A and B are shown apart, each in its own frame.
Chain A
């Protein structure tokens, strides 16, 4: 359905690199020695069974793990060639947006949900500019047509799929370079899922998208690169086509054929 062939310039455009990343929650090691290069303007999928560390690794990228007590990240992760630890986390998160598993709109109006990020970062000089940012973000989130007449309505009153697209619009509004998506469709029905997947495919043109998913079909549909995690290890990372048709590691093959996981 979607074009999965990538030209060479894209693959060389590395946005995020991880080298020997280890994550510990207290005494428990969640991720062991992960090395990965993530390219811009493409969708990278993290797949793997529950508890394999894919979400943990995702949360390392925008340093959301900082907020968890007892979580320790070692190794090196760079964003645009600079160590994550050298960024101010507040600035970093304005460049790396995140969409969560469960839609979490703020209990405010649709407009305020989207305008929140631009407001705290002082991105708009006046109301007209802010209106413009909100409209563009909602259009990018593919929800503008559904909500343009009721921007004052509470964001929590939308359906689950609409809420998730609102959250994507909210993340896009701060004009990030990277979008992290942590199982964005797991709480949605198939129709809403299809809408979000279509949206992800469009977002690929402008953003580096990283999506964690439980659904192998979803990974196959939306991503160009796929990383398979198992028990805290990054088992295999390659073009999506290759992972699903000709995996190198026997564990990957077992997982995608449904024998483990």
Chain B
């Protein structure tokens, strides 16, 4: 082959490689761009800031300020109080709201707002006796208006919102009664029902995912490390250990939903553990993570130079001492990397959790005590799944926001793995 032809071939191959990278970068960038552009607005939330003078005669008929007696007043009572307060504030600011029907006016406020006010008042009954400033959620459609999701044109066709409402919101914004600010509640509030997307948050999903990651960490790491050390250093090489090896590799390739079926029949139906609990989810994810961590741990144990173990053995160390004093510490960074990658994988796993009932609508936080792991919760990827299937576009926005949060966690975890590996790799 002549030189020109060879050079041409080399050039073509380089070009092909470069274009492959560019193509995958384009895909990655467009994915991130679409997720970020549709998800970022969820980190902001539109709220009213109102001066409240609550009618104590209506909200506490007994006049005792006893929360037990005040509980008789439902959210309907607080809703009326909020509508009246909105009217008072608009009057004070000189804004005209006569064009709105009674229903339209009431719908300016989120359905979640009365419940939140009620909780605040029950927690602190003295609020009834004084005037105070209170921020409350605007309706999801009005929130969407300031994020470009709802326009005057779309409002004319929308049964849930009218142009008159949007005009009133604009007037309130001018007077400083309405503001769009950073949405910290998104990270710690629980999920909300279909009609109040503005109140939905990731709190329960965060806790559920956190509990599951803890369970995976506590179970998968010791089991995997023990398995890897035993197989790599102590097990005899025969057909049985070969069989185990092949099966571990096979397990790593099993579709994750199969682990969900296993978890359902083993942990819930057979062992009688509660449904929707992070405990069961964590156990399923542990089963799923085990092969990943075992394979990573074995590879990093194998990568430790045998001369290190020989050196220890020649000094009169027992095999266990040689492994635990020298081989394992040298393999630790690799094992850690494998663990973090396994955890990141488990954090993003959805399918097995669907089967064990974590897809349920959960509004109660699991408790922070150890029993919390047996109480119903959801997980981040499940919350994303849950929100994407709901009708209101506001939920899709929140799902994208949750994807950003999940991706941030995963990138942070993978970054940590890379950093750890860089830092402690190849010390010998």
Q: Which chain A residues have a beta carbon within 8 Å of chain B's beta carbons?
A: 62, 64, 67, 69, 90-94, 97-98, 100, 102, 104-107, 116-117, 120-121, 154, 156, 167, 170-171, 174
Contact = CB atoms under 8 A, between A and B. Distances in A.
Contacts of B312: 106, 116
B320 to A, nearest CB: 10
Contacts of A156: 427-428
Nearest to B311: A104
B326 A90 contact: no
Contacts of A171: 314-315
B427 A67 contact: no
15 contacts: A64-B310, A92-B316, A94-B315, A97-B315, A98-B314, A100-B307, A100-B311, A100-B314, A102-B307, A104-B308, A106-B312, A107-B329, A107-B427, A120-B316, A174-B315
A120 B321 contact: yes
B427 A97 contact: no
A222 B132 CA distance: 96
A258 B319 CA distance: 42
Contacts of B73: none
B313 interface: yes
Given A69-B237, A116-B325, A106 B311 contact: yes
Interface in B171-226: none
Contacts of A105: 311
Contacts of A98: 314
B408 interface: no
- Ordered nearest first, which 4 A-B pairs have the shortest CB separation? A94-B316, A98-B314, A104-B307, A117-B315
Contacts of A67: 310, 313, 319
A106 B311 CA distance: 8
A90 B316 contact: yes
Interface residues of B, number: 22
The CB with the most chain A CB atoms within 10 A, among B317, B319, B329, is that of B317
A225 B315 CA distance: 26
A120 B318 CA distance: 9
A154 B427 contact: yes
Contacts of A92: 316
A93 B317 CA distance: 8
Contacts of A116: 312, 315, 317, 325
A93 B311 contact: no
A62 B317 contact: no
Nearest to B428: A107
A121 B325 CA distance: 14
Interface of B is mostly: helix
Contacts of B311: 100, 104-106, 167, 170
A104 B305 contact: yes
A90 B310 CA distance: 12
Nearest to B236: A69
Contacts of A64: 310, 313-314
B234 to A, nearest CB: 12
B317 A120 contact: yes
A90 B313 CA distance: 8
Interface in B302-338: 305, 307-308, 310-319, 321, 325-326, 329-330
Given A100-B307, A106-B308, A107-B330, A62 B314 contact: yes
Nearest to B309: A67
Given A156-B427, A156-B428, A93 B307 contact: no
A121 B305 contact: no
Given A100-B310, A120-B321, A154-B427, A106 B316 contact: no
Nearest to A106: B326
Contacts of A69: 236-237
A159 B325 CA distance: 24
Contacts of A104: 305, 307-308, 310-311
Nearest to B329: A107
B289 to A, nearest CB: 28
A120 B316 CA distance: 8
A35 B374 CA distance: 70
A67 B308 CA distance: 14
